[in-house]
Amino acid sequence: MMRAADTKMQTGNERVRMDMEKETIDSGERKEKAGAHAQPAYGTFTRRLVQLYAALLYNANLKGFLDGHIYSGPLKSVCVPGFNCYSCPGAIAGCPLGSLQNALNASGHTAPWYMLGILALFGVVLGRTICGWICPLGLIQELLHKLPVPKIKKSIVTRCLSYLKYVMLVVFVIAIPVWYGINQGIPLPGFCKYICPAGTLEGAVGLLQNKANATSFYQLKLLFTQKWVIMLIIGLACAFCYRSFCRFLCPLGAIYGFFNRFCVVGVRVDTDRCNGCGLCVRRCQMDVKHVGDHECISCGECMGSCAQGAISIQAGRITLAGPVSGKHADPEPVIQKRRKLGRIAWGVAIAVLLFALAWFNWIEPAQEAAKTPKPDQTAAAHSQTETQSSEKADAKPAAAAHPETEAQSSEKADTKPAAAAHPETETQSSEKADVKPAAAATGTIGSEVGDLLPDFRTELLGGGQFQLSDYRGQVVILNLWATTCAPCIEELPYYEKLKVAHPDVEILAIHHRAGAKKAENFLADKGWDHLDIALDSKEKGLFSLLGASDAMPQTIVLNKEGKITYNVQVPLTYEQLEELVSQAS
């Protein structure tokens, strides 16, 4: 029995060995033998161009890399098909995986129909063709694989590892966000937070490389260290093993893989021509078992291996790419027609790219700048308030009424007269019994430590108004936050506690303009009665007035003179807040 099994195994091994010997002849000889192999591996160059094109189009907001700010226009409400971090300074649209996690986070109160629909749409049209052709992370992995190091070939081990991405999908993309979203009320995108190398590379490194985000370094702690190490490991693995992240870890690939068998665009086999040699599967660097399965990224590399010319890339019934040489090549007029259509498609694509570059870097910023309320208008409204509330009409209004102007134009005046910064202070102070008269406020207007923060007025949630200058003589803390920011939500109860402990300290939590309307619902059941909450909007522009970035949470502490003693984008502990208050008092 044993001998029979051994003999059978030996015969099997022998067959594989012979098969290997037969097939591992060098490619030149093989081309000669196969006849049809004069055809180069299809379109590697074309595919590379498409990948570069997609990466550039997804990140058309090039000015973001220069000014260190992300794009926050309306296009961020849609997703690109490939893996591209939405916190990358260049990104013009959302990341499908990040958005899915966010939608699942919110699934306790909003069904994630939108993201499911988007993913189903991308999946049924393109499937994993997205991975092979229009995923920037795929491009990065392929370029890393070009490094001249020994390569690890696919095997049964890598095929087993390829199922790991389904574990990633279930645990990090579905379970963690749903659990934290429903049970804890905290938006925690598990995959983004703990694994995603695209976030670290495009988002973190993309933002940190800019000097404008120098204070963002202060936020970096264990999470960054861990993600940095993970990114390096994945990057190194990609050099040795083809598309390691894509094959073993990418949950987006796992999702698109479900659609691969019936998606509209993809690699297809002409079963009448196929002789079952299996060269396509053996040549493929992905862990496919057959052409077009859930691991196939429709890169088309197998087309060059097929002596029968049986493989083509189809969009429904339309052939996008087929055999162009050898005895099974498509007819010359068909090839010519396809090339002509290809040239037209490239023309349109380049026009779209040029338009996108012009739109995101020049046209839209110019329109936004035109729409933004002029500093003079704000200042005029402000000075009106001053005239009504103060008898000090003669208190050097020229410098007094326009601090915002100076802040927004980022011109720093050298020194201003004492009363100049906020003339209404004394009037307001005299109305408050427990507030000491304002100290002489001199200094530059700005958002750095030691500067006087520009005065502003805003409506409070639940009624009333907040005017910064009203609180001269008190320590003021401004907290910039958003409901989509988990560290912000974890930090807010500390502010509530601080306000209870220090009633004399004014704390204003300003919500980012994105999702401001939902903040009311969010706050309804929190019971944070002591905090003053304001909602920013595009029209108010409080964040930009305060010189804040889009990275949250940010805390600005003002001392009794109205000068900034602390302004950092970092989540704080209660002890740190206590310390900041005692420093500012």
Site for other proteins in 301-320 (CB under 8 A): 312, 314, 316-317
Site for other proteins in 444-483 (CB under 8 A): 482-483
Site for other proteins in 255-274 (CB under 8 A): 259-264, 266-271, 274
The residues with which 477 forms a beta bridge, in sequence order, are: 507, 557
Nearer to other proteins, 145 or 416 (CB): 145
Query: Residues 340, 344, 346, CA angle at the centre, nearest 5°?
Result: 115
Residue in 111, 341, 352, 501 binding other proteins, rule: CB under 8 A = 111
Q: Which residue in the block uniquely carries the two structure tokens 């490094």?
A: 147
Q: Under a CB-based contact definition with an 8 Å cutoff, are residues 271 and 248 in contact?
A: no
What is residue 10's three-state secondary structure?
helix
C-alpha pair distances (Å), 469 with each of 46, 225, 444: 61, 41, 15
Site for other proteins in 512-531 (CB under 8 A): 512-515, 518
What are 464's two structure tokens?
């009333």
Of 375-383, 386-394, 395-403, 484-492, the segment contacting other proteins by CB under 8 A is: 484-492
Shortest CB 289 distance to other proteins, Å = 5
Nearer to other proteins, 143 or 393 (CB): 143
Question: What angle do the packed helices 96-105 and 113-126 form, to 10 degrees?
Answer: 150
Site for other proteins (CB under 8 A): how many residues? Answer: 135
Site track 37-76 with other proteins (rule: CB under 8 A), x = hit? ---------------------------------x-x-x-x
What is residue 555's three-state secondary structure?
strand
Site for other proteins in 530-549 (CB under 8 A): 549
161 CB-contact burial (10 Å; exposed 0-12 / middle 13-18 / buried 19+) = middle
Residue in 34, 134, 207, 254 binding other proteins, rule: CB under 8 A = 207
The residues with which 267 forms a beta bridge, in sequence order, are: 313
Closest CA to 56 of 126, 131, 136, 129: 136
Nearer to other proteins, 138 or 571 (CB): 571
Residue in 59, 484, 555, 567 binding other proteins, rule: CB under 8 A = 484
Shortest CB 203 distance to other proteins, Å = 3
Question: What angle do the packed helices 222-240 and 136-145 form, to 10 degrees?
Answer: 60
Q: How many whole angstroms separate alpha carbon 173 and alpha carbon 184?
A: 16
* Site membership for other proteins, residue 110 (CB under 8 A): yes
Nearer to other proteins, 7 or 110 (CB): 110
Residue in 36, 55, 79, 468 binding other proteins, rule: CB under 8 A = 79
* Site membership for other proteins, residue 27 (CB under 8 A): yes
Shortest CB 398 distance to other proteins, Å = 37
C-alpha pair distances (Å), 204 with each of 57, 99, 200, 223, 365: 20, 18, 5, 11, 23
Shortest CB 474 distance to other proteins, Å = 22
CB-based burial, 247-260: b 16+ in 10 Å, e otherwise: bbbbbbbbbbbbbb
DSSP collapsed to 3 states, 360-371: HHHHHHHHHHHH
Shortest CB 316 distance to other proteins, Å = 7
Site for other proteins in 125-184 (CB under 8 A): 125, 146-151, 153-156, 159
Residues 6+ apart with CB under 8 A from 209: 65
Nearer to other proteins, 446 or 571 (CB): 571
Of 226-234, 389-397, 400-408, 430-438, the segment contacting other proteins by CB under 8 A is: 226-234
